[in-house]
């Protein structure tokens, strides 16, 4: 993961799969209280994240940050979008499928103004709450390390594109199916030796091929889960880095325990 602070550039969405996906990350900050607005993950409602999502075609990064904060957290959609020169940082997240570039912006708005907004696009899917910067760091770490968030649950939604949910948001993670016991051929060998000619060699070959195919699928699923965990950790560390940059800019003390 690399970063570039306050670099100028266009935040327009990239349409080519080989190019990094452009993502806006919003740090919604209340100057009077010094707290940051977080939202719950839709995939794991007991965990908290920062508002973020893909930069749409024709949008600047700042416009996407305002839109994502409105859709996910209910901050005012009329906030003036920060310019590229006001961008806090760029964070590059590697990926085997498609890398991403996160554009990090600070949106300043008082808690009372946000509290007055009772209905927003994802108000029935997420909770929102304000936390100190140190509390924010703690909840981000919990999001990418909580074991329950990595449990297998086929009822949870899976990602449609690399890091992109069906409606364009990013907090929905692909769920790995975990590693199971590795199939062996010992049982079939024993069975063949006992029943002899009752099982043809061709049938045994078919069963062995099926087992090998199953073994390969299980290994692939285990690798997929490992990749998912690494990808989630990268996202979590990117959010931590963004909060650290923010704290440096605002000269805030952070408890990084």
- The catalytic site residues sit at 71
Rounded Cα–Cα distance for residues 230 and 234 (Å):
6
**Judging by beta carbons within 10 Å of its beta carbon (0-12, 13-18, 19+), is residue 201 exposed, middle or buried?**
exposed
Residue pair 125/42 in contact by the 8 Å Cβ criterion: yes
Rounded Cα–Cα distance for residues 22 and 105 (Å):
13
Question: Any residues with CB less than 8 A from the CB of 19 and at least 6 apart, and which?
Answer: none
Rounded Cα–Cα distance for residues 69 and 17 (Å):
26
C-alpha distances out from residue 15 to 38, 54, 104, Å: 29, 11, 20
Residue pair 162/21 in contact by the 8 Å Cβ criterion: yes
Which ranges constitute the DSSP H helices of the chain? 61-73, 111-115, 133-145, 186-195, 201-250
């Amino acid at each position: 993961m690399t970063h570039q602070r306050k670099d100028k550039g266009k935040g327009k969405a990239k349409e080519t799969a080989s190019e990094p996906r452009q993502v806006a990350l919003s740090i919604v900050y209340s100057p009077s209280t010094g707290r940051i607005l977080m939202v719950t993950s839709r995939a794991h409602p007991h965990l908290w994240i920062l508002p973020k999502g893909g930069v749409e075609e024709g949008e600047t990064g700042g416009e996407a940050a305002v839109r994502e904060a409105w859709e996910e957290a209910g901050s005012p959609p009329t906030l003036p979008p920060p310019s590229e020169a006001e961008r806090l940082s760029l964070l590059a997240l590697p990926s085997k499928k498609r890398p991403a570039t996160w554009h990090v912006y600070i949106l300043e708005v008082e808690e009372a103004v946000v509290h007055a907004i009772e209905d927003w696009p994802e108000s029935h899917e997420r909770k929102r709450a304000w936390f100190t910067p140190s509390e924010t760091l703690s909840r981000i770490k919990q999001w990418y390390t909580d074991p329950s968030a990595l449990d297998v649950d086929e009822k949870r939604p899976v990602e449609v594109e690399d890091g992109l949910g069906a409606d364009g948001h990013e907090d929905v993670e692909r769920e790995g199916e975990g590693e199971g016991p590795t199939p062996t051929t010992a049982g079939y060998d024993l069975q063949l030796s006992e029943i002899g000619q009752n099982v043809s060699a061709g049938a045994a070959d078919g069963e062995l091929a099926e087992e090998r195919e199953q073994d390969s699928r299980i290994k692939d699923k285990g690798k997929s889960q490992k990749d998912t965990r690494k990808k989630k950790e990268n996202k979590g560390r990117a959010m931590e880095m963004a909060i650290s940059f923010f704290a440096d800019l605002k000269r805030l003390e952070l408890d990084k325990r």
